Structures are given as structure tokens and as C-alpha cells.
Structure 1
Amino acid sequence: MIPDIATLYDVSEGTWPPERTWVEGPWTLRDGAGGGKRVSAATALGEVDEADVVQAEAAMQSIGQRSLFMIREGEEALDALLATRGYDCIDEVVVYVAPIDLLTDQAVPRVTCFSIWKPLAIMNEIWASGGIGAERLAVMDRAKVKTGILTRWNEKPAGVAFAAVHNGVTMVHAVEVLTHQRKLGVAQWMMRAAAFWGAKQGAQHLAVLCVADNKPANALYTKLGFTRAGTYHYRQSPE
């Protein structure tokens, strides 16, 4: 059975974990330690009102984080409440999932992809070229069952990705292909390599997150046979 969107939200957190997570009132709060929106955003545990939002704002500000909320499917009331408070809507993300054997039907060409942890210097350099620095590398390191994937193309380094497993799902994050190696099939082989690696860990499904505005990546995942499971976006304070 294909995991539902609620399960995949949980997989996302399990494979890309905050430094600290705690419950305060009707919220799950996160200390991302500079690792980006996904590990820093507050999420609601149920219905909330304006006083609850003020409580969450104070908690986030107390640890030096900008007020930021993740809005998941079914949370239209929270979305509207934050909009009335002047919060900006940013970064709609599409969640894709596929049976893992859908991506293991073709062998990855020899010396194309390598599963490596801890990352080599060249992997960190490629991630850094896409804005993925030490704080996000620390997020990766916190995941329990994980690997980095280094891809070579035309006998040169081409791209990197991070994959981790949670509750039977391998989720791929931080896909970065060097500019001069794009449109050559590199990302496809990385996804297939992640599927082979995940299958060895006992995973039954492969998932990936993609910003809705990234049309080439969305087209790739659709072409590979991924199913669109759902979406989420953020509301960020304008301060």
C-alpha cells in the first residue's frame, strides 16, 4: 500500500531531523540549529486560535528563530489565520512517492553512483555549490539509517544526494547536480541508486520532496513514475 501524506510527513522528519523537537501547548516546535525551514517550522497538533499562534511565536523567538509555520494538507484554517496576521506564503513543496522496485528495474551503470557515508570532500563541495552548508550537513548526520550518493558522469563528478530510511520508506533529500552536468540523466541515476540502496535496507517505497516551482525536477519525478502524494507550504512572519 502506498504511504499516505500523513505518513510521508513523518518520514520527512525522520529522515531530515531537527536538532531538538518538543511539544508546547497545541504545537510541535523545532530547533533547526540553522538547518533550514523544514527543521525549524512549528506544526499544529490540532485546531489553534490566535492566542495559540502568539504562544508559538514567543517560543520560536525565545530561541532566536524567525516565526515560521509549516502548513500541511487539511490545515486551511491555520493558513487563513496566519494570512490575516500578515504572514507570507512561501515554498510550496510537492511530496512524491513510488514503490521502490519501480526504480530498481534498470541497473545503474558501473562507476556511475557510489553510496558513501561520511561524505567525501568533493560531495561537500558540490552541496556547498547549491547552498547546502555545514548546518544542513549536520541535519543529515542526525538521521539514523542514511547514505550519501556521489554520481560521476563523463568521468567527472556530477552530483550528490542524501538518502535515509524511516518506517520502511527511503526519502531522498539535497539533490544537487553541477550546472555543466545537468540534462544528462544524472538525477535519474541518483534516484535509481537511492532505490537500490533503500531496498537493501528493507524499504518498500522511495519518496522525494520537490519545490513546486522547480519544473524540471517535477517533470523528472513524474517521468520516473512517482505518484504525487500531497503538498505542504510555509507561512513566515514578515519581520
Structure 2
Amino acid sequence: MTPSQLYAVVEATWPAAQTVERGCWTIRDGQGGGKRVSAATARTDAITAADLPAAESAMRALGQTPLFMIRAGDEALDTLLAGAGYGVIDPVNIHLAPVSELNAPQPHSTSFAIWEPLAIQIDMWATGGIGPDRVAVMRRAQCPKTSILARDGQRAAATAYVGLHDGVAMVHALEVTPHCRRRGMGRRVMLRAAAWARENGATHIAAVCTQENAAANALYASLGMALVGQYHYRIKEEAGPT
């Protein structure tokens, strides 16, 4: 799959509250849902320094710090932003595999695909820093979707959100409770997500995570998911009142 296809999957499965095309930019209103739904992206590779103020003003008008997503093909924009004082933040890896590759048997009644998420899942996400604004992103997604709940015995152990677009089921917000880590719970979630994906006609399963998240990157590699793309953000911190 091409990088542009995977970026479209990210966009459809983790959508901004509103997206507006303004000149050579796509501006996103994230409403607190994180960088992925708040970053501006270029609609052309012919961006110049004269184009930056329009994007910056549009983001500030939304109460957002100027932030840009840099994808494959955005190398000139990356250089331009670096020269304008924008620093790199949160480089992200994209992992992908055919759903047929994640087809191992699981213990009976230890993981479930559920929509809407249960209160215990909302609590697990909140404990991991995935608060109401990010849960709102999941709820407003218009694609086929589900959440995954995995149990360790009788206790809730892990959760994730999965959205499906263009044959790809993308896993977001994978969270394992601290007392259940290193017990295979993340793998259990991914296998259930892949089963749901197959049942709903997906050909591939994907996941995104920051390059700093060693545990998640190791999990996806152990499942045979290939590293197929990357992106990062550039941010310019605004000076506050003195």
C-alpha cells in the first residue's frame, strides 16, 4: 500500500472535528483530540515561507498552537519549517500486515469486540492519558469501528479502538493496565482486532505509534507487522504572557 493510502486510513479512522481547505493548506479542528487531529497538512509541494502565516493564523483562531504534520513527500516543507523555528516532535511509525498473518488461536472468552466501549474501557484509557476528547474522536468516526476489551482472568486488562477504511483496520489507543503488562495482553488485543477485521472484510491490519514507544513497536514487530511508513510533526511553541 502507498503512504498516501495509509494516511487516508489514519484520517478516516481518527478524524478531526472539522477539516477546512484554506489555500494550500488543510486545517484541522482537533478539539483537544491530540496532534493527529489538530495538525495542518500541505495540499501541494510548492509551499513557500509566504504561505505559513495563513496556516498559523487559522490554527491560532481555533485556539491551537501552530502544528504541521510532515509526511512522505513533504521534505521541502520540513526544511522550510525547520528554518522558521519549528522543532520536530513525536515521530510516528506505521505498521502493517495482512490480516491472515494474525490468525493465532486465543483462549476462550478472554477478548471481545464491543461497540460502544464499556465504562471500564473508558477508565483504562483515562488512566493511560487517553481522555474524553480522544474518546470523542472515536465516537465521531463514520467508518466501521469497534473497541477491543481483553481480560486477564476476571479482570479487565487491555483495550483498544479499531476503525476500518479502504480494506485496512487501523488500531488506535492500545492501552494495557500497568498490573497486566508483560503478560501478552497487547498481543491478545491485536489478535482479536485482526479477527474483527477479517469478519468485516478487511485485508490488512495497521497500527501507528510513536517511535519512542519501544513496547508498542516491539509488539507489532513480534506479530510480523512490517514498518511501512513514518511521519512526524513540527511545532512552534507560542510565547505566553510575560
Please report the TM-score for the alignment, with normalisation by the length of structure 2: 0.95
Please report the RMSD computed on the Cα atoms of aligned residues, expressed in angstroms. Answer: 0.9
| 1:143 Cα deviation after fit | 1.5
Tell me how far apart the structure 2 counterparts of residues 154 and 92 of structure 1 sit (CA, whole Å): 36
* Amino acid of the structure 1 residue aligned with 2:119: A
Match of 1:140 among 138, 141, 148: 138
Tell me how far apart the structure 1 counterparts of residues 38 and 106 of structure 2 sit (CA, whole Å): 35
Q: How many residues align?
A: 236
**Does the alignment pair 1:119 with 2:125?**
no
Tell me how far apart the structure 1 counterparts of residues 160 and 196 of structure 2 sit (CA, whole Å): 12
Tell me how far apart the structure 2 counterparts of residues 13 and 58 of structure 1 sit (CA, whole Å): 23
* Amino acid of the structure 1 residue aligned with 2:138: M
Secondary structure of the residue that 2:130 maps to in structure 1? coil
Secondary structure of the residue that 1:118 maps to in structure 2? coil
Tell me how far apart the structure 2 counterparts of residues 44 and 112 of structure 1 sit (CA, whole Å): 43
Unaligned runs of 5+ in 2: none
Once the two structures are superposed, residues 100-158 of structure 1 have per-residue CA deviations (whole angstroms, 9 ceiling, x without a partner) of: 11112x12211211111111110000000011111101100111211111110132110
- Runs of at least 4 residues of structure 1 off by over 2 A? none
Alignment check: 8 A CA contact 2:86 2:234 kept: yes
Match of 2:19 among 15, 18, 21: 21
Tell me how far apart the structure 2 counterparts of residues 182 and 20 of structure 1 sit (CA, whole Å): 36
* Amino acid of the structure 2 residue aligned with 1:211: T
Secondary structure of the residue that 1:38 maps to in structure 2? helix
Match of 2:126 among 125, 128, 146: 128
Alignment of 1:141-220 (within 5 A): 141-144=139-142, 145-220=144-219
Residue 10 of structure 2 is matched in structure 1 by 12
* Amino acid of the structure 1 residue aligned with 2:122: N
Unaligned runs of 5+ in 1: none
Once the two structures are superposed, residues 23-53 of structure 1 have per-residue CA deviations (whole angstroms, 9 ceiling, x without a partner) of: 0011111101111100000000112011111
Alignment check: 8 A CA contact 2:95 2:207 kept: yes
Tell me how far apart the structure 1 counterparts of residues 140 and 101 of structure 2 sit (CA, whole Å): 28
